[in-house]
Structure 1
């Protein structure tokens, strides 16, 4: 197995197409064609984590956070980022980061938080826009069913809880091939009219390559006419944050105590309690202040996130309880989740969970 094979497995879980534009995900260090001897999974790639990989004979580190976030103009070992890159290259260790691709995945970071709290009825808090595209093509009527099925098999035609969705219109197509043409139907140099079906299917944007491959492989024409447009439809299964419901309403203080115990938080900074039971909970791992209004609009009683600033707490406005449990604390279970996922996909070598606590925040 090579590095790219591992990346493909991770892409199935959380396509990098859905990472945020500001992020730096994917293979950050190393050769995608390098043979993999072992994988170390971590939340952050620090020097001590690279040492851990060396000790465990792992030549691929799968990291949640990217060690390279901004551009590096020099690699001299002056900063911890540069030292990590130098050591990884020196020892032939590749580094891959999944970060906001996993944040936006339905089974990703926020689903993990919900599962730790045993929340039900999980839904994406802020669906990511611009993820749905539409393909329209024209095919001889007798080939329409075969092409449709091939497109469905490639992942097209799925929206929410429905699959094999398409729209079909029958009509007449015309074409005239020149001397260099080789028409599948009709003769070159002669105007041909063919009974055709216009097929329209939607697909998630990360599937575009395989959908087009299915189109070209299964379409009978020498030249395939098609168009792809982005739609305004929202993909409810991809996006930031998540909401869920407790099995039974809880008194606010008891609920916060449960959260603190579950995430082993040294302290929880929270807004004013409202003297109302907690039933619906919104969560967003990592820095989530941008989602406060979305959490309020969702009708959540409690919003669990991290990195809230002083003035963020005012925005609760007695509509919701805001709870800052810590950045590391909110994402800590991610690496165990990735180990479990990769272990099910790869059995030829060890998938090792890093033992290093990379939380840079300390408490008195």
Structure 2
């Protein structure tokens, strides 16, 4: 398997189209045409992780966080980022970052937290906007079914738990081929009327190229009439954070004890107790202060996240319990979950879980 083949599999799981605009995801270091000898999965890529990859004969590091986040003006080894990149390049090791592409996945980082806490009725907390597109096209009535089925096979027409969704209207199309045309139906210089079917299907935005290619490949017309529009419809399968429910309600003290145990943390920073029973739990791995209001609006009793600043805790306003468990701690199970997903996706390929603890925060 080449690096580019592995990347194709990874992007089928977590398309980069759904990563946040501020992020730096994808192949950060390496040659796409290199043969993969092994894959090391890690939360962060540091020099010690590159050493671990070398020891395990892995020339591909799949990292959750991107080692290159801001632009590099030089690579001389003057800081940990440059030293890590240099060592990877010297040892022909590719580095791929998945970060918010996985954050926004329905089975990604936040689902992994929910599963660790045994939460039920999981759903996206902040659905990502403008992730659904619609194709409108016109085909000869006799060819509409075959074209429609080809589009379905390419991934169009999926709405929630339903597949092969479309809306079709029969009508009369007209066209007049000019002398340079090569019409499959009709005669040059004559206006032709054809019984046609208007086909409307929705699709996920990362499939646009595939859908258009399928349309052209399976349409008989020389010039294919079509429109693609971006919808405002909410996509419940893509977005930041999750909200779910405990199997059994708990007091705030009971929940914090439970949270420490399940997430394997020694300290939790939290807001004032609200004296409410905890039932609905919102989670967001990594820095989540931007989602406090979303958690409150969703009716969460507690919001589990990290990197909350002093003034962020005031936003609780006695209506929600804010629980900061630490950045690394909130994402620590991500690499395990990613290995499980990849192993299921590519069962005949070995993925190695990094043993390096990359948490830069220590407690005294």
Do both share a fold (TM > 0.5)?
A: yes
SS for the counterpart of 1:338 is: helix
Q: In structure 2, what is the Cα distance between the partners aligned to 1:350 and 1:18?
A: 27
Residue 70 (structure 2) aligns with = 70
Q: Distance in 2 between matches of 1:273 and 1:348?
A: 49
Q: Aligned equivalents of 1:219 and 1:110: distance in 2?
A: 41
1:220-239, aligned counterparts within 5 Å? 220-239=220-239
Moved more, 157-166 or 318-327: 157-166
Q: Secondary structure at the match of 1:282?
A: strand
Partner of 1:300: 300
Task: Pick closer, same or farther for the CA change 1:346–1:163 going to 2, 3 Å.
Answer: closer
**TM-score (normalizing by structure 2):** 0.98
1:219, distance to aligned residue in structure 2 (A): 0.8
Structure-to-structure mapping, 1:268-347, within 5 angstroms? 268-347=268-347
SS class of match (1:67): coil
Residue of structure 1 equivalent to 2:168? 168
- Report the count of equivalent residues: 364
Q: What residue is the counterpart of 1:92 in the other structure?
A: 92
1: CA distance, partners of 2:242 / 2:25: 22
Superposed CA offset, 1:73-100 (max 9, x none): 1111011111111110100000000000
Note the C-alpha offset of 1:269: 0.2
- Give the CA deviation at 1:348: 4.6
The Cα offsets for residues 290-325 of structure 1, whole Å up to 9 and x where unpaired, read as: 000000011110100000001111110111100000
Aligned to 1:208: 208
How far residue 186 of structure 1 moved from its aligned partner, in angstroms, is 1.5
Deviates more, 1:171-180 or 1:209-218: 171-180
Q: Any unmatched runs of 5+ in structure 2?
A: none
Task: Measure the CA separation in 1 of the matches of 2:164 and 2:222.
Answer: 26
- For 2:5 and 2:325, locate their aligned partners in 1 and report how far apart those are by CA, in whole Å: 35
Q: 1:349 deviation in Å?
A: 4.5
Asked if the contact 1:48/1:356 (under 8 Å) is kept, the reply is: yes
Q: Work out whether residues 37 and 349 of structure 1, in 8 Å CA contact, stay in contact via their aligned partners in 2.
A: no
Which moves more between the two structures, 155-164 or 284-293?
Answer: 155-164
Instruction: Give the 5 Å matches for 1:35-114.
Output: 35-114=35-114
Deviation at 1:199, TM superposition (A): 1.1
Alignment of 1:104-143 (within 5 A): 104-143=104-143
Aligned counterparts of 2:87 and 2:333: Cα–Cα separation in 1: 27
Question: Cα distance, 1:188 vs. partner?
Answer: 2.0
Identify unmatched segments of 5+ residues in structure 1: none
Contact 1:242 1:283 in 2 (8 A): yes
Equivalent in the alignment of 2:356:
356
Instruction: Look up the SS of the partner of 2:322 in the other structure.
Output: strand
CA distance in 2 between counterparts of 1:341 and 1:242 reads 19
What TM-score does the superposition give when structure 1 sets the normalisation length?
A: 0.98
Q: CA deviation at 1:185?
A: 1.0
> The residue matched to 2:33 in structure 1 has which SS?
coil
**1:100 counterpart SS class:** helix
Once structures 1 and 2 are overlaid, which stretch shifts more, 47-56 or 254-263? 254-263
Give the equivalent residue in structure 2 for 1:265. 265
Q: What do residues 4-23 of structure 1 show as CA deviations (whole Å, max 9, x unaligned)?
A: 22112211211110000000
